[in-house]
């Protein structure tokens, strides 16, 4: 039952980008990383295995899940540039312009991106590139055993601790592959905790239910944002950011233990979850189109206009995401299921990850 949570994360990214503040999106990206660490480790152990054939099927399945929808989203950006013009589009987001060199084309075609790469036809896909990197390492066996996963987690803690102690740039503990090791490894280690009876008993309590933990995640964000806004203490954001990661891990464990969001059936959870990846891919382009045709200029950010743009864009984003699911995702799903051919049934929802941030 991870679908609802994934779409909540995708909407947090969209709101953070189109209206702000940006911290809402950063919270969601590390949430995606931790969830992907857990899910990818789970399906490698439970569905694909570590034979050459299993690894190949995992890679093909991930390719089919990620790239077709991404290419459609990139084509949507090119259509926006052709329709609106390159200058206003680049004004809206500095990474949105047409690739011209062979290197730029290859980077955007095959997701060989980082947060500094320009152009990026789909701006948040630098995080997808990070995910693909760790998918590869997990496929090769980085989280195959508890010991390997603990060593990986230790490396992530050492890197993060060093960055914090040296008070280095925020970008080094958020945007980089090394920074993503911490949430990915923590998520992967959750796989080895699922069978722990004490943890199972702990998560049967009402105090660790998904709706309460999700509420605490938002309360933590709002509280840290308000405190930082009025005190101008930069450490407040860092505390909130890592507290968010702890809450995310509790929420993933709660969902993995079989707890559910109220009033969301398993079927609806799956359908809601399908929307998360397209929402992640197309929210910038949709906000661009809406702001240009409603306000006469491309804009976003914390303002009345930014809020109106978000309010008008969200239903269109969901509608376009639904179209992408029905026209791209579902037709490919039968092929993906044939490739998967699990030897053992994976835990519920484990292979429905959308590979987003």
At residue 262's C-alpha, the angle toward residues 12 and 279, to 5°, is 25
* pLDDT score at 22: 67
Nearest partner of 289 among 299, 274, 279, judged by Cα: 299
Give the number of domains in the chain: 1
44 contacts 144 by C-beta, under 8 angstroms? yes
Q: Residue 203 to residues 115, 195, 198, 206, 310: CA-CA distances in angstroms? A: 37, 12, 9, 8, 36
What is the C-alpha end-to-end distance of the chain, expressed in Å? Answer: 18
The 8-class DSSP code of residue 171 comes to G
Neighbours of 81 (CB within 10 A): 19
* Confidence (pLDDT) at 346: 43
CB 264 within 8 A of CB 8: no
Q: Is residue 213 part of a domain?
A: yes
What is the dihedral sign for C-alpha 244, 247, 248, 249? Answer: positive
Does residue 355 belong to any structural domain of this protein?
A: no
Whether omega before 119 lies within 30 degrees of 0, making that bond cis, reads yes
- Asked, for residue 275, whether it belongs to a domain, the answer is yes
Q: Per residue of the chain (357 residues), what is the pLDDT tens digit?
A: 799 999 999 999 999 999 977 688 999 999 999 999 999 999 999 999 999 999 999 999 999 999 999 999 999 999 999 999 999 999 999 999 999 999 999 999 999 999 999 999 999 999 999 999 999 999 999 999 999 999 999 999 999 999 999 989 889 999 999 999 999 999 999 999 987 878 877 777 777 899 999 999 999 999 988 887 788 776 777 889 999 999 999 999 999 988 899 989 999 999 999 999 999 999 999 999 999 888 788 888 888 888 999 999 999 999 999 999 999 999 999 888 888 865 544 444 444 443 333
- Does residue 353 fall inside a structural domain? no
Domain of residue 158: give its range.
Answer: 3-340
Give the pLDDT score at 135: 98
Q: Is there a domain that residue 350 lies in?
A: no
Confidence at residue 92, expressed as pLDDT on a 0 to 100 scale = 93
Residue burial 139-171, b: 16+ Cβ < 10 Å; e: rest: beebbbeeeebeebbeebeebbeebeeeeeeee
Predicted local distance difference test score (pLDDT) of residue 40: 97
d(CA 310, CA 118) in angstroms, rounded, equals 25
The answer to whether position 346 is within a domain reads: no
Q: What is the pLDDT of residue 356?
A: 35
What are the backbone dihedrals phi and psi of residue 61, each rounded to the nearest 5 degrees, phi first? Answer: -65, -45
Single out the residue of 197, 333, 252, 234 nearest to residue 36, CA to CA: 252
Q: Find, among 79, 180, 168, 169, the residue nearest to 128 by Cα.
A: 180
Contact 18, 313 (CB under 8 A): yes
Could you tell me the CA-to-CA distances from 177 to 183, 198, 214 in Å, in that order? 11, 33, 26
CA distance 30 to 245: 7
What lies within 8 Å, CB to CB, of 158 at 6+ separation is none
* CA–CA separation, 282 and 11 (whole Å): 11
- 44 within a domain of the structure (yes/no): yes
In a domain, 351, yes or no: no
In order of 40, 66, 141, 357, the CA distances from 61 in angstroms are 12, 9, 17, 19
**In angstroms, rounded to a whole number, what is the distance separating the alpha carbons of residues 216 and 222?**
10
Residue 76, preceding peptide bond in cis (omega within 30° of 0): no
Query: What is this structure's pTM?
Result: 0.93
pLDDT at position 355? 37
CA 314 to chain CA mean position, Å: 18
The Cα–Cα gap between 135 and 357 comes to 14
Alpha-carbon distance of 111 to 285, in angstroms, equals: 18
């Amino acid at each position: 039952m991870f679908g609802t949570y994934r779409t909540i994360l995708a909407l947090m990214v969209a709101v953070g980008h189109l209206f702000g503040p940006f911290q809402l999106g950063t919270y969601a990206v590390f949430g995606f990383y931790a969830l992907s660490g857990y899910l990818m480790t789970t399906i490698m152990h439970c569905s694909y295995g570590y034979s050459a054939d299993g690894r190949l099927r995992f890679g093909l399945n991930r390719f089919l899940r990620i790239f077709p929808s991404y290419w459609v989203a990139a084509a949507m950006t090119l259509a926006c540039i052709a329709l609106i013009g390159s200058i206003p589009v680049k004004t809206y987001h500095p990474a949105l312009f047409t690739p011209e060199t062979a290197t730029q084309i290859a980077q955007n075609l095959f997701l060989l991106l980082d947060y500094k790469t320009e152009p990026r036809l789909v701006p948040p896909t630098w995080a997808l590139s990070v995910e693909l990197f760790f998918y590869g390492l997990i496929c090769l066996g980085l989280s195959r055993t508890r010991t390997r996963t603990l060593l990986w987690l230790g490396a992530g803690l050492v890197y993060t601790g060093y960055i914090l102690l040296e008070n280095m740039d925020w970008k080094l503990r958020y945007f980089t592959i090394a920074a993503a090791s911490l949430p990915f490894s923590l998520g992967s280690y959750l796989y080895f905790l699922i069978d722990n009876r004490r943890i199972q008993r702990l998560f049967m309590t009402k105090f660790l239910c998904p709706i309460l933990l999700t509420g605490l995640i938002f309360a933590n964000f709002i509280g840290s944002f308000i405190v930082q806004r009025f005190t101008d203490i930069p450490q407040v954001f860092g505390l909130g950011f890592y507290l968010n990661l702890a809450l995310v891990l509790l929420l993933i464990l709660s969902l993995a233990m079989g707890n559910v969001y109220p009033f969301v059936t398993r079927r609806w959870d799956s359908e809601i979850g399908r929307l998360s990846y397209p929402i992640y891919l197309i929210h910038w382009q949709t906000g661009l189109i809406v702001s240009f045709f409603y306000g006469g200029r491309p804009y976003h950010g914390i303002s009345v206009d930014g809020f109106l743009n978000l309010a008008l864009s969200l239903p269109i984003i969901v509608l376009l995401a639904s179209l992408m699911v029905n026209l791209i995702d579902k037709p490919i799903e039968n092929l993906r299921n044939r490739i998967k051919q699990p030897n053992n049934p994976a835990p519920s929802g484990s292979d429905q990850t959308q590979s987003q941030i």
